[in-house]
Amino acid sequence: MSSMIDKNGLQHHMVTININGDDYTKVVKSNNLLVNFLRDELDLTGTKRGCEMGDCGSCTVLLDNKPVNSCLVLTVDCDGKKVRTIEGVATTENLDIVQEKFIEFGAVQCGYCTAGMILSAKTLLSDNPKPTQEEVQEAISGNLCRCTGYVNIIKAIMAASGQEVEGFGIEAE
């Protein structure tokens, strides 16, 4: 990673980051946060700014396939890494199964937490294709939702795993 100092004494770095399968090479300030880079530089606005302290999860993205709060990650620390945002979840004209189940089970209301919830769910299902309800709850514990009370979110994730939705009397398709 090359760096330079501007006339105001601010350090800038040249970074190359693979985002949703495409490589981006940009010059960024040393203190630039990944959430701001995604939203302001690349117009990937599915990643939300929430608490900006790493508590709410609305800014969750996958960094090398692990969920992170992008409000706590410096863009320079992503040089040479892979980032996946909500815009990179559906790879065809069709939605991903997790996205479909979120819609089917009404797991979205205002939608502010949805991107982070879906990315956390994708990681869980990739690592554990048949999670228990408790494992789903643990996987999304870093994502806050003020609207749904989590019941429909848990139903959607369980249904996306192809399992019966335990404790709710609903079977997955």
Model confidence pLDDT, tens digit, residues 77-130: 999 999 999 999 997 789 999 999 999 999 998 889 999 999 999 999 999 999
Range of the domain at 125: 97-160
What are the tens digits of pLDDT across the range 34-63?
999 999 999 999 999 999 999 999 999 999
Percent of the chain with pLDDT over 70: 95
**pLDDT, position 8:** 85
For residue 58, give the CATH number of its domain.
Answer: 3.10.20.30
User: 172 lies in a domain?
Assistant: no
**pLDDT, position 115:** 96
User: 121 lies in a domain?
Assistant: yes
- Say yes or no: 82 and 112 in one domain: no
Of 63, 87, 111, the residue at which a domain comes to its end is 87
**Half-sphere exposure at residue 173, Cβ-oriented, CA atoms within 13 angstroms:** 7
- Say yes or no: 74 and 102 in one domain: no
Enclosing H/E stretch for 4: strand 3-5
- Say yes or no: 65 and 22 in one domain: yes
What are the tens digits of pLDDT across the range 151-165?
999 999 999 999 988
Enclosing H/E stretch for 68: strand 66-69
* Number of CB atoms found within 10 A of residue 60's CB: 29
For residue 148, give the CATH number of its domain.
Answer: 1.10.150.120
**pLDDT, position 39:** 98
Query: Which amino acid is located at 89 in the chain?
Result: V
Q: What is the pTM of this model?
A: 0.90
- Say yes or no: 105 and 155 in one domain: yes
**pLDDT, position 146:** 87
**pLDDT, position 92:** 74
Could you give the C-alpha distances from 135 to 23, 30, 123, 148, 160, in angstroms and in order?
Answer: 33, 37, 12, 19, 14
**pLDDT, position 172:** 47
**pLDDT, position 170:** 45
- Say yes or no: 79 and 133 in one domain: no
Residue 2 has pLDDT above 90, yes or no: no
- Say yes or no: 123 and 68 in one domain: no
User: 24 lies in a domain?
Assistant: yes
- Say yes or no: 20 and 70 in one domain: yes
- Say yes or no: 19 and 79 in one domain: yes
- Say yes or no: 68 and 33 in one domain: yes
The rounded distance, in Å, linking the Cα atoms of 115 and 46 is 6
Nearest to 38 by CA among 90, 113, 115: 115
**pLDDT, position 154:** 95
